[in-house]
Amino acid sequence: MSAPLHLLTVDRRIVLMRRIRLFAAATITYNIVEAVAALWAGGVADSSALIGFGLDSVVEVASAVALSWQFSAKDPERREHLTLRIIAVSFFALAAFVAMDAIRSLTGGGEAQHSTPGIVIAALSLAIMPVLSYYQRRAGRELGSRTAVADSKQTLLCTYLSGVLLIGLVLNSTLGWWWADAGAALVIAAIAVREGLNAWRGDVCCNVPGADTTPHEVAPDDCCQSVEQPPRTFKAAAHRDQESNQP
């Protein structure tokens, strides 16, 4: 259970900010490898779903870099709005490219081939991404950071995409359903649009304790438990700590 932000000490907030930067670094490292592997495998197999998955990894890298940039500042809250915009635009670009490539495949632009490397990549991501997402979301909620929670949601999205990708690749490999690959790519594009809209509006997967939000900014999602806390900002919490330490 997350502690209310006003109960967090300055030292605890520093620890959480450092932890979020470490999670972002881990996400960047893994997704660079994943992006290169998925794009290569997608090109070899002419797989729209694999290419879309690889591009999603690129988006996740951009999101994690933006998050690292935000939390490298002394006052991360000042950079939160721009960081959410960067995440949103990345999602929209991903959705547009993947949708166009999937439509090209469905209209006779090429049938996806069997891809063992793609199946392995999807399975690995399905195992790794939920762990990264969980710990980053927990740290973000405790700190009251909408961008950290939004980035963790993007990492969780990678888990869903891995499942969709795995189903599409397996159906294509075992039953010869080449259109399942393009169908999986369209699902990936649709999810990316939804998450891009959420990030653009400043919506997150749940009510973030300590974040300065209004009720319409909370996305209707059950990935987190609702926690009723009064809106507080990093500055307000720090000011409260200073007041409590005064004699």
Rounded-to-5 percentages of helix, strand, coil across the chain:
80, 0, 20
Quick one: tokens of 132? 């990264």
**What mean pLDDT is predicted for residues 182-209?**
75
Quick one: tokens of 243? 């007041």
Which tens digits make up the pLDDT trace of 35-54?
999 999 988 888 888 888 88
The percent of residues in the chain predicted with pLDDT above 70, rounded, is 78
Task: Please determine, for residue 203, whether its predicted confidence score (pLDDT) is greater than 70.
Answer: no
Which tens digits make up the pLDDT trace of 116-140?
999 999 999 999 989 988 988 898 8
Which tens digits make up the pLDDT trace of 73-123?
777 778 888 888 888 888 898 888 878 878 877 887 666 788 899 999 999
Each domain of the chain, given as residue ranges in start order, spans: 5-241
**What mean pLDDT is predicted for residues 185-208?**
76
Superfamily of domain 5-241: Cation efflux protein transmembrane domain (1.20.1510.10)
Tokens 């620890």, residue located: 15
Q: Using alpha carbons, select from 91, 31, 14, 15 the residue that is nearest to residue 65.
A: 31
Helix (H) or strand (E) holding 156: helix 146-175
Report the chain's C-alpha Rg in angstroms: 19
Whether 92 contacts 63, CB under 8 Å: no
